[in-house]
Structure formats: structure tokens, C-alpha cells
Structure 1
């Protein structure tokens, strides 16, 4: 029944799109728009279809991705190239943000939602977007050179990760280990920065959800800071080593999806049980690596899962176990983040639960102090600035010092 409902909804969305445009059965249409094409043929571009509306605006319909065995669906990522007459002034309306979350409708938008534009897909600037009453986004742009890229946030692509890996692979403080493959066969890796013998170990994971590039930029900032080989970096690496899963959902990143893997698995859910290796090989790879580390007596002392959302909070979950020591450590982590990074948003309330998330799963099943750090996708309060690759890399660099003080005099 749910699949039939989604099919009906899709057909209605198509009919709605046709109603907005100038196309009707048997009608001849004159093409008078300065728009040539919306290009999505490149890495990380978002799936979409589009029409020129009777209002002259370009109506873009983003394609939902769907969770397996669930009514949940997600949209929140857009990244495409506008090809148009040089100097063209165009209005765009982005549709299909009626997400379903835990069986209930919701939206990833609010009145602070922003976007980025670029002529070369590398140097980006912020644009303000209007959130409409019907849960769409409306904005105008000038396509000065005939080509303009539009994105939700500054993209971090699989090719960017490969460039980082090539740059650091020969460093004696780096070890890159393949731990498995994605559904589509892309290799998954753990990058270790520092000595195996370091007294403390921290695990970072980024990009469980493909639309959330902030975690990738934070990881890059942290890695590059630790490898600077100055006195501060050497001091940090004497105290801890860092293990990084830099891009958990590579298939989704390449395809330009929002939340799930290509078989509908949410990589930040169902950590309360062993993952199905057929449906969720990405989590199976990480779990197998974790189990091996535990068996070797080298389990991470801290795990931080990096995400983007509209709040920017530290998610400290509270499963039904003895939490006194764990909560004390999370309070210490929050303090260190506030003192040594631009983080100011605080942590979730004392009643917060997120069953099945990696924070709860690693704490309950592996005894690892784990949490989820959301990065605000609209505004960085601690910097009074918009989120950008530069600002997120700064957080990664600052995180090195925060971790140094978190582990100072720690019993674990």
C-alpha cells in the first residue's frame, strides 16, 4: 500500500509540473527562455526534472530518495549547473521538500535556509533564498558567463577525498586501510593519523548522509592540522591518534542523494543490531573493523559522528543503561568544544533519545563513548558567519586542541 501511495504521489507531482508549464497535449510551444539547459551530468549533482512555468520561472523538481521498508523519504540536497545566455537573469523555484520523517511529514527548510553559487564549482558565494508558503525555495540569479553552479552547501565530492588521500598517503604519520566496499563496489577506508601506541584513540565518521558535506570539510581540516608537523601537532599526536571513516555513503555522494544508501538503508540507524551485509555493507564494514579493534584491545575511547542539520547541537543520547560516567565525559567534551573551537550551540536535553543511531549503538553494544555532532547548515553562531568550507575546516583544526584537553588526565 505504501509503494502504491508513493506511486500515486509521483504521478500527481508530474501532473502538477505540467500544469505549471506551457506544455499541453497537442499544443505547439515557442521556446523563448534564455535558459539553455540544467546540467546534472557531473559528480554529486542532484537528480531532478524541470519545467519553464507560465510565470517564466524555472521550476525544479528534486527527486526524493526513499528509506527501505519505510514511508520515509528525504530531499535536502541540490547541486546543478545552469547553462544559459550570458547575462541572463533567471528565477528558480525548487520543489519537493515534503519529506517524511519517522512516518510523519516534515521539511528540511526554514526561513534561514541559504544556498551557494559559483562560476567554476570551486569558489562559492552565499545567496539568500525565499521559503515560500507551499514549502518551496525561490531565488533569482544572473548567469554572467553563461554557466552558473547552484548548490545547497559548498560541495565535498568523492574526488575531493581522493585528492586528499593522494596528498597525505606518503606521510609517515598516516595509514590508509581498506575495510570494505559500498553497495556499488566503491572502496571504504579508515585513515589513521598518528601512532598506534598513542594512549588515546578517537574515531570520526563523516557523510553517513550524502547531502551533509560539513563533516567532510571538518575531517579535512583536522587531518591537515595534525599533519602540519609543528610543536602543537606533535604534542597532540603524543596524546592520541585519530581514526577517520571519511565518507561512509560514497555511492550516495556520487549520485547526489540526500540521506540513504542505494538500497534504502540509513547509515545512522539500526546500530542497535548487527547490520545486514547485503543491504548495508557500509555499516557492516565499519562494525567489522570496530569488532577487530575491540578484540585487539584498541577500541576507540571516543567516537564522533559528524552531520549537518538546522540546529548544530551535540547529540548525547541516553539509552537505558548506567550513564553516569558517559554523561560526565560528554559534558567534558562539550566544555572542550566550547573552549577550543567555535562551537556554541550546546547539547541535547536530558530526555534526548535517538534509538538505533550510531551514538546509542556504539555505547550500548561496544561500550564506546559515542555521540553525534551536528553542524548547523544555515549559520555559525560562534563565528557570526555563514557556514563555508573554510569555516568548517577551521573547526576541524580547532578540534585537535579540543581533543588534546578532553583526554588530559582522563582515565580512559
Structure 2
């Protein structure tokens, strides 16, 4: 028996098991870091293979296995609870005696065992005939014009490409956009959705803003609710919710523009807002006349290099304003090699990320020669 004043082991176990179950079900960052997720367990048991090479097969097995592992949580809790009460707390001589004294828990044990048996049976049913009954395979089959295996190989091939877009919608749901497909991957088979880009019409339906961001981003977070309407008859659409910072990343991979018929204002990141302010400030600076042939920006290789660093600010005097020597602007003799957007992003990346309000008045080393400069020294070329 537990001594007076001591916390029973069953209570301690119940608290820890509750926390474990939450992490296991919702796959929080902490649970993923500790490997306490269905995906990690299935990988450790060798039941799922490499996602990179067998993308669809991986998620078919993962979602089936997740159902089984989740169904075991109540059964494992009740069995372990009875063991702790019997052998650690010493309240009973055997586990049979425990369940005789707690008939309702014995009933729950039988129900949880039945739940686990049904989950295993369902997973077995889905695996028949090479998973032909699995919801993921059935949804892919709707797009197959010939062999389903050929279509799966095509999707797997596209997923292996490095230019795919993968976005974490939430801890258990991910968005994947390849050259031709939009896919939603959930924790169970029913949460899988697929749409060919030619059949997809994406519309921003709603947005919600929060002063605090789970990622710790300055300025809070905005989330967009995007509806994917499937033009292919008989295939339902779906909706997902993403951080607005991922909007441009998603749009860049889509073949059609995301419609914003409600004119929802999409928030930019602090860095993106700074780039706009940086450009506006530079527009007011004196222009630089150069005779060099302007080449593509070495930062993005897309835009033409259009800025040059010309020292104009007054921090070159050793006595002025008590500015430390290491922080004074100096001459830069580099030819134009960067576009204004890339230089602004470089400038922002070299600042204190916790103090964005100080960025515009700060200094930064030239990305090529490391000469210090400020916003006043940036000149558009003519």
C-alpha cells in the first residue's frame, strides 16, 4: 500500500502517459525530437521504407500503421495502470484482483482490446491485393488513365526532384507541390488529398492574424485558408491553412495564380517589409554613373546588377560621433555585381534579428569585399 503523503504511482504514470499520448497523437516538435511518433516507431520496426525513393508506398504504409499504433494507446494505458497499481503501489496481490475490484476498468480493457483488433483488421484489409483498397491508392486511381503503378512511379519521380515545395500545414499534415501535383498528406489514410495542377483552382477563402507566432517571427503571424477546387468530375476539393510567409513559396510552384477574390491583405515577413523600405530609401539617394557593362546579379542570376556602393555618409572621420573604427563606413571599390533586392536581403541578414527597428540605421559589410556601408552609401546605377 502507498504510504500517507506519498503520491501514488498510478497518478504519476497517468500524468506522464497523458503527456506522451498528446505528443504521440499530435506529433509535436518535442515528440519528434525524442522519436515518440508513429512514423519513428514504424521506421524502427522496418515497416516503412525510404520516403524519398518510394513516396506513395511510404505514406500508404505509414498511414495504415498509424491507425494501429494509435488504437493501442488505451489498451497499453489500462494494462500498465493495473501493473503499476498492483506491483509498484502494492495495492493488490495480482492484476486479476485489480480488475475484479475495478469492473468498469476491466470493461474498458475489453473494449480497448476490441478497438485494437478492429484497427489491425482494418490495416490488414487495406493491405490486400497490394493496397488496392487503401484510400490513398483509390484517390490516385481516379487519375490513372492506364496502369495505377505507372502513375505512382511518376508521382514518386516528381517527389524526388529538388524543386518540389513541401510545407508543414500543421504538426500532422503536410502540403507537397510537385511539377504536376498538389498533395495533402495527413496522419491517417482519409486525410490524403490529391489534385492535378491542370484541374486545380486555388482560392484564398479567409485569413486570421495573431500577435504571437509559434515560430517566434517578429510581428506575429497571419494564416491563410486556401480552398482547392478540383475541376475533374467526381473528385472532391479540399482546404488547407498555411502561414502567409509560405504564400510566395507556394505560388512560385503553381501553374496558375491563387485567386484572391476577397482582396485579403497578405502580410509579408519582417525581412520582406524591410526590403521594400530599403528600396524606397535608396531611391532617394544620388545615382552612380558607371561605364562598366552590367552583368546579371551574382546573388539571384535573374535580375541585372543595378547598385553600387559609393561612400557619402559622414562616419569616415575618426572623431565624429564617437563611432568605433570598426563600425565606420569605408570606401568600396567593387564594380556593380548585385541587384537592389539581393543587396537588401543581404543587409537584413547581417543585422540583429531580434531588433528589426534598428536595421535601417545600421551598417553592413559589402558581400564581396567586406567594406562597411550603410543605406546612404547605396546608389542605383545609371
Per the shorter chain, which TM-score range?
under 0.3
In terms of fraction of residues, the more strand-rich structure is: 1
TM-score w.r.t. the length of structure 1 is 0.24
TM-score w.r.t. the length of structure 2 is 0.25
Larger Rg: 2
